[in-house]
Amino acid sequence: MRRSRLDGTFAAGFAAVAIGILVARANPATAYEASLYAATPTVTWAAFAIALAVAVSTALACRGRPQAIGIGLGALTTTAIVSLPLIRNYRFSGMGDALTHLGWTRDIVEGQVAPHELFYPGVHSLASVFHFVGGVPIERGLLLSVVALFVPFLLFVPLVVRDVTGDELAIGVAAIVSWMILPINNIATHMGVHTNSNALFLAPVVIFAFVAYLRRRATIERLPFGLSPFSLLIYLTGLTLLFVHPQQMLNVVVLLGAIAGIQFLARRRYDDHPIVEHPTTYAHTVVLGALFALWAMTNETFRRAARGLVYGLFSSDVGAGAEVDQTESSLTDIGGSLGELFVKLFFEMALIALVVGLFVLATWIGRTKLDRETKSFVTYFGLALVPLGGIFLVYMLGTPTMAFRQIGFIFVLVTILAGIAVARAIGGLSRVVSRPGANAIAAVVLGACLVLGLMTVFSSPIIYDPGQHVTDEQFSGYESAFEHDVEDRPHVGLGYDPYRYDHGINGVEREGVLSGASAASGEVNATEFEAGNYSGAYHGVDYYLSVTEWDETREIGVYNELHYSEDGMAGLEADPGANKVISNDEFRLYAVDGDPPDAS
């Protein structure tokens, strides 16, 4: 393509991103949005599609500076999509762990707790910096932190591939696959204020430091005590990852430990091999492992999680089988299926994983023409997936939610390997058709996978999980409910325990905090509620029942009245024992009189 035409194409791509952002900004959210995708203007999505089409084609077809510009365009567009809750002025996003993280950040800002007293203070500390330095609300500071921690993923995945192979096509493919955001599966990893998921996007930074340590071995750059600058980089990035979330730090330790094991065996078997010439990772494994142990073993959160895993391993009603059966039954009841959900959430992940798996196998049996240095790194990452996969199986038997978090880290490595694997596939295809033809086919396939990946980055009704948009009205309603409630009268939710909102509004580290594990808060009994027995729907005591637009959208619009029905809501409104005490467009609070069961 001629330079002037290429420059015009890039100009159109960047202009499209700018238009998409400006249109989205000009149409902020004015009420609860069940789907960020449906609520964002069509013009924005059309503009982003144009930008991504330019980015994908140039990342595959161009080399050098034009390819770098194309990769930058794609990264900018993907970041804009991830930033849509910020761009469209969401008050907050996230109704589970995110609200507790909001509470911890509020505790730090108000001096109730020091950052080092938290198990994973990285995200909260960064949000506090945004709050104090930028003067933004705490909620917005957290949303900014999500974006800030996401960007390194887009930058360092292609950088890792560049250091591993140097193949420019592989660099472009790796960038495109990173835009799919494969580590997010919306089962246990989420795009939002979720520290475990946020840590996934920092993992490529640590991997880059490791690859740089192995590939850039200039002795003149040694620091005192023989320490390489790249070794220091591994320690610093690993420590940062530890502060964001220790589970992903543990995965990095397992990765480095597997590589150290490969190096040890290679030194016993080979005299002339690139792995033998690499500096060892023994010390890094020990140091990072010790840091993890020192930080985690002294924390009650870690010990509680470990006990839960052990309990799950020996309990027949805990594990993947029980959860799959329950999920499949619920999906069938609301008109969906497990197969349909798998396609929506995992099809592009499965396709990329299949290509990577075949490529690694072909490399090990000598059917690829990679140079020996690149093969060494494929061996490192490929064999490291064995212990990482073993951890996944243990989690699957004990705590399935943790298993899907483990899948998130595995797909960080898969994303890196995909850059090399797909590039080799394109090279093979170009021997059958022309190089432009192979690039065109790859652009179509990767573009389709990119669409599938980005359409499930955020929760939405399409995956039977309405968006977790928290509006001003919801915040205001819960603030008033907690401020003016009667002492010792529990707060109850409609299929959702309100204690998370109490965390977000009032902080976590304080006395008298609501707890989902006590009678102070909970969920109304669906059976009693649907039978019209509102007075007996929560242990027969007087209680407050909060109903939000999100509750009604979830239970009626998405779950098709599986647990709570529109008739049940209408009956509550007319019941003489239920008094509406707070009401706005997004939130209603009822004071419900209890009806203790007859002691006789």
Q: Which token pair is 370?
A: 């990679």
Picking from 524, 550, 559, the residue whose alpha carbon sits closest to that of residue 329 is 559
Global pTM reads 0.94
Q: Is residue 600 part of a domain?
A: no
State the average pLDDT over residues 366-373: 90
Report the chain's terminal Cα–Cα distance, integer Å.
Answer: 88
pLDDT at residue number 481 = 93
Q: Is residue 597 part of a domain?
A: no
State the average pLDDT over residues 355-384: 94
Q: Is residue 393 part of a domain?
A: yes
pLDDT category of residue 300 using cuts at 50, 70 and 90: low
For residues 235 and 113, state if they share a domain. yes
Report the alpha-carbon distance of residue 374 to residue 161 in Å, rounded.
Answer: 10
State the average pLDDT over residues 146-156: 97
pLDDT at residue number 597 = 57
Q: Is residue 598 part of a domain?
A: no
Percentage of the chain modeled with pLDDT above 90: 75
For residues 435 and 486, state if they share a domain. no
Q: Which domain holds residue 540?
A: 471-592
pLDDT at residue number 369 = 86
State the average pLDDT over residues 67-88: 97
For residues 392 and 508, state if they share a domain. no
pLDDT at residue number 450 = 97
Which of residues 463, 485, 502 is at a domain's end?
A: 463
- Do the beta carbons of residue 478 and residue 505 sit within 8 Å? yes
For residues 438 and 487, state if they share a domain. no
For residues 376 and 516, state if they share a domain. no
State the average pLDDT over residues 130-151: 96
pLDDT at residue number 517 = 44
Average pLDDT, the chain: 90
For residues 484 and 584, state if they share a domain. yes
For residues 479 and 373, state if they share a domain. no
- Do the beta carbons of residue 523 and residue 496 sit within 8 Å? yes
Domain count, the chain: 2
Q: Which token pair is 536?
A: 């007996």
Q: Is residue 554 part of a domain?
A: yes
For residues 53 and 158, state if they share a domain. yes
For residues 428 and 510, state if they share a domain. no
Q: For the residues of 111-161, what is the DSSP string, one character each?
A: TSS-GGGSSS-HHHHHHHHHHHHH---HHHHHHHHHHHHHHHHHHHHHHHH
For residues 29 and 129, state if they share a domain. yes
Q: Is residue 443 part of a domain?
A: yes
Q: Is residue 599 part of a domain?
A: no
Which of residues 434, 463, 492 is at a domain's end?
A: 463
Q: Is residue 575 part of a domain?
A: yes
For residues 227 and 352, state if they share a domain. yes
Q: Which token pair is 300?
A: 């009650």
For residues 235 and 349, state if they share a domain. yes
pLDDT category of residue 199 using cuts at 50, 70 and 90: very high
Report the alpha-carbon distance of residue 122 to residue 118 in Å, rounded.
Answer: 9
Which of residues 463, 479, 508 is at a domain's end?
A: 463
